Amino acid sequence: MSTFSTFDFKGKKALVRVDFNVPLNDKLEITDDNRMRAEIPTIQKILNDGGSVILMSHLGRPKDGPSDKFSLRHLVNHLSELLGGKTVLFADDCIGERANITSSLLRPGEVLLLENLRFYKEEEKGDEGFAKKLAVLGDVYVNDAFGTAHRAHASTAVIAKFFPGDRKMFGLLMESEVKSAEKVLHEAKKPFVAIIGGAKVSDKMLILENLLDKATDIIIGGGMAYTFMKADGGNIGKSLCEDDRIQTALEILKKAEVKGVCIHLPSDSIIADKFDAAAQTSTAPSNNIPDGWMGLDIGPNAAEQFSNVIKRSKTILWNGPMGVFEMESFRLGTKAIAIAVADATKNGAFSLVGGGDSVAAVNMFRLADQVSYVSTGGGAMLEYFEGKELPGIAAISHSS
């Protein structure tokens, strides 16, 4: 495995797997270009060295082969703008004659974008023949798609076997994602607090289990907190609850006690009489929510307690909001936590925010630049913290 920053791309064609899975509106315009912006440093480094860049990505979930709605053609002009007006060539197929000819004619300093990989079913199946057809396009393979690193697809993992050890590497984005995640998972300075929120316990069970061996404190907020409250004998009204997870929740509480990990549940909640932005609201202890009411945010006492834990921590991992932050009435808990994470970071803590909704939250509160790292890979980051080995990372790190 080579290191991207020290590799000299002069005269090389770099086949770069990126995650350009950006949202498009009805007019096929890009509504959020963060994933494209995040790739510019990797592309620039290759071009500055005197290499050429062949970009491959998926976009959306095309079901039956090529369709205009999912064509990467719609990204060409914007990518060109992001590269300071540089011409971006486009191949309307990612393999075969057209891709082969365009890539073979590519000169140093040029950028080529290939058509959507998922127009071929073989991509998601991890088909070796398909991976080989992609591999012939470049001299060097760069994986910079952290968002799909948890998938063993042809372009994210299988392709690596067609390049020798010194011709495959992570790109700058992937490098920094992996470095930040490693810092939290393996080199965390204590106290280490994990803040886990969001809707479902079942989605976060594995991550909680894995963190019991790493964290000093685990803060549990959001809808999933009420399954724990009920497990602990509380009345939770009609708050979210996964009855089939109550036993697991109890086991987590017990394991935490044995391992000396402090689990923090919200002492109070903002409750509502219905799941609606215009609902009637009140505050109640989280273990004594009246019948017919539901907890939709952590309350002011819980926000303060959680903030105090966060502010005395040296390492912070945050995944999942504390409440239904999409609605203004249930936003304050998540906002208080975001502010506490930013404050702790200012005081020297390392903070990593990962997972779609917590990233959306720090962006909403304009605090993204006040935390140490915001991960671009939701599902991939989650699996990483569940302790799983990601195929996209393994394919490069475990080969000679």
Active site residues: 35, 200, 356, 379
Stretch that binds ligand AMP, among 84-92, 179-187, 194-202, 336-344 (CB under 6 A): 194-202
Task: Compute the least distance from the CB of residue 123 to ligand AMP, in Å.
Answer: 26
Strand partners, 143: 17, 170
Nearer to ligand AMP (CB atom), residue 138 or residue 355: 355
Q: By CB under 6 A, is residue 337 in contact with ligand AMP? A: no
Stretch that binds ligand AMP, among 121-129, 318-326, 341-349, 392-400 (CB under 6 A): 318-326
- Residues with Cβ within 8 Å of 28's Cβ and at least 6 positions away in sequence, in order, are 68, 69, 74
Q: By CB under 6 A, is residue 93 in contact with ligand AMP? A: no
Structure tokens at 98: 């057209």
Q: For residue 365, what is the DSSP state?
A: T
Q: Which amino acid is at 163?
A: F
Closest CB to ligand AMP belongs to which residue? 198
Q: By CB under 6 A, is residue 326 in contact with ligand AMP? A: yes
Using DSSP's 3-state secondary structure scheme, residue 351 falls into strand
Closest to 175 measured CA to CA, from 392, 382, 320, 372: 392
Structure tokens at 325: 């932050």
Q: Alpha helix locations (H) across 312-371?
A: 332-346, 356-364
Q: By CB under 6 A, is residue 296 in contact with ligand AMP? A: yes
Q: By CB under 6 A, is residue 320 in contact with ligand AMP? A: yes
Stretch that binds ligand AMP, among 16-24, 88-96, 117-125, 196-204 (CB under 6 A): 196-204
Q: By CB under 6 A, is residue 295 in contact with ligand AMP? A: yes
- Residues with Cβ within 8 Å of 97's Cβ and at least 6 positions away in sequence, in order, are none
Candidates 51, 323, 354, 392: give the one binding ligand AMP (CB under 6 A).
323
Q: By CB under 6 A, is residue 203 in contact with ligand AMP? A: yes
Nearer to ligand AMP (CB atom), residue 138 or residue 198: 198
Nearer to ligand AMP (CB atom), residue 126 or residue 321: 321
Q: By CB under 6 A, is residue 324 in contact with ligand AMP? A: yes
Nearest 5°: the CA angle 54, 55, 57 is 150
Site for ligand AMP in 211-250 (CB under 6 A): 222-223, 240
Task: Compute the least distance from the CB of residue 320 to ligand AMP, in Å.
Answer: 4
Q: By CB under 6 A, is residue 200 in contact with ligand AMP? A: yes
Structure tokens at 251: 């086991």
Name the residue with tokens 């976060």: 204
Stretch that binds ligand AMP, among 50-58, 128-136, 193-201, 362-370 (CB under 6 A): 193-201
Q: By CB under 6 A, is residue 273 in contact with ligand AMP? A: no
Q: By CB under 6 A, is residue 349 in contact with ligand AMP? A: no
Nearer to ligand AMP (CB atom), residue 327 or residue 339: 327
Query: 3-class secondary structure for 145-208?
Result: CHHHCCCCCCCCCHHHHHCCHHHEEECHHHHHHHHHHHHHHCCCCCCEEEEECCCCHHHHHHHH
Under a CB-based contact definition with an 8 Å cutoff, are residues 273 and 280 in contact?
yes
Q: By CB under 6 A, is residue 206 in contact with ligand AMP? A: no
Exposed (0-12), middle (13-18) or buried (19+): which is 156, by Cβ within 10 Å?
buried
Stretch that binds ligand AMP, among 50-58, 246-254, 256-264, 316-324 (CB under 6 A): 316-324
Q: By CB under 6 A, is residue 126 in contact with ligand AMP? A: no
Euclidean distance between the first and final Cα of the chain, in Å?
6
- Residues with Cβ within 8 Å of 292's Cβ and at least 6 positions away in sequence, in order, are 237, 238, 273
Nearer to ligand AMP (CB atom), residue 299 or residue 355: 355
Q: How many residues bind ligand AMP (CB under 6 A)?
A: 16
Contacts with ligand AMP, residue ranges (CB under 6 A) = 198-200, 203, 222-223, 240, 295-296, 320-321, 323-324, 326, 355, 357
